[in-house]
Amino acid sequence: MKSMTSSIPISQLKPPRNVGMKKLDKSKFLVTRKVWALLLPEIRYVNEFLDRKTRTTPTSLVLNIPQQPSLVEFPKGTLLESLVEKLSDKNPKLKALLLREDIAVTEKDVDHTHEDDYKPELLKDKLTLQQYERLSDLGAVFKIYELKFDFDYWAYDDILKAILPDDLVEQCPSAFTIAGHLVHLNLKDQYMPYRHIIGEVILEKFPNIKTVVNKTNNITSEFRTFEMEVLAGEDDFVVTQKESGCQFTFDFKNVYWNSRLATEHERLINSFKAGEIVCDVMAGVGPFAVPAGKKSTLVFANDLNPEAYSYLQQNIKANKVDLFVQPSNLDGRKFIETSVQLISNFRERTPFVKYPVKVLNSGNKGKKSKSLEEQPNKKRTSKIDVPLFPSHYVMNLPDSAITFVNAYRGLYINSFNGKSKEEIKDLPGYKLPIINVHHFEKYKEEEIEGDVHTELEKRMHKKIVEQLGYDIPLEDVSFHVVRQVAPCKLMYCISFRLPEEVAFQS
């Protein structure tokens, strides 16, 4: 008794190795396995063996592997006509159940495959007596079925590992960033000879992707953009990305966007309240500003990059938040220093924002009420008084945002046309804003004694103190880890309420 199948379980199969392939040939990734299939004279008996509660139990008959249906159809040309005639009345599509792997196809089985009444050599040994007798009573027919696992079956990273040399498999670039129809890779030097086939595999494996690019240098421009090489697909960098219930359009090549920051965007947006003012200092195309505007937060959104500013304006209009989001195209430092005056100028023109709100008609009293689905929407208006004082500043430029913190010195004393500190504090709605600074903190392992985060927080606190020119207590500053950028590089969001001593610093 010798099995014709591999000792490797189907669930652990991998595509054939094609080391060094530079041009994708999907035909090279085919693997076949022979299994037994059970044809029942009447299709109604199939459900008896497909009970979901028992399919994963040791006594189940059915093959149970990911992405492979247990119920298949036999092409009529592959079965004897006499058998087709016997089955077609009650099983017209010749559907068959694939039997589990331990009922393996043996050499003896292959020799008898042309016989319609043949039973697999291992069948009786692998089934319970009750199962065996039940199949006999039903007049079951057993045929060998060839499973084909082709390029489409294998996962993206399985294909990559089949192509790359052994020394590159362990850290193969299986993760990437998606923005709309575009995939962005940041390949290490050792993977560059395979960059085009990596791009081809991505296009084949992810139907919604039309363009695959690789960053060719580090971010060096003041706008945080970088050169990119198209590895595969269309030379089209203008993408549309959905995030936080909004739709953003932008040129990925000429503005900064990072889909990995979606959770951070959401976290801060959730801290903003309707009617508050948020000043987004480095707003980009609006991932903070536009969703905040959707929740009736008033946002003054600024970006120095003319391309980002243009798309920011476009996204404000497309998402219908132009009543709440005011864009500008200033240097970040200039924007911070003049932000309170910008708010004051806007407030003079627009003391309150009036906007439409949809409400459900609850029905007229004394009349039979319609269901909510049948009730037409009514429109009413609501309004928000524009505050004098901002509640939050967001500074999402982690390479250098912390160097702009000194721009908050004298924020209030320089913004209210010679009013004294006491007069400013008596103005309606007086408050001190929360400053949110995104920041990259690098370190060397040999420099750290004790807990990494504790040490890095001390370092960042020192930088904030130096920038503010004020010894803000460490306990008044919060440090949120946004993500690990590299083994010894973390992105933080440093948050603190602007000290009164700084806001009124002369």
- Please enumerate, by residue number, every residue annotated as part of a binding site for S-adenosyl-L-methionine: 265, 303-304, 331-332, 396
Of 29, 65, 11, 24, give the one whose Cα is nearest residue 152. Answer: 29
User: What length does the chain have?
Assistant: 506
C-alpha atoms less than 13 angstroms from C-alpha of 429 in its C-beta half-sphere: 12
Known binding-site positions: 265, 303-304, 331-332, 396
- Per the CB < 8 A criterion, the answer to whether 117 and 109 are in contact is no
Q: Coil, strand or helix: which one is 439?
A: strand
Tell me the two tokens of residue 313: 């304006």
Distance between CA atoms of residues 97 and 126, nearest Å: 16
Residue 160: CB atoms within 10 A of its CB come to 23
Distance between CA atoms of residues 179 and 259, nearest Å: 7
**Counts for the chain of helices (H) and strands (E), in that order:** 15, 19
Where do the DSSP E strands lie in 170-262? 177-179, 182-185, 211-215, 228-233, 238-243, 246-251
Sign of CA dihedral 230, 236, 241, 246: positive
Tell me the two tokens of residue 368: 């039979």
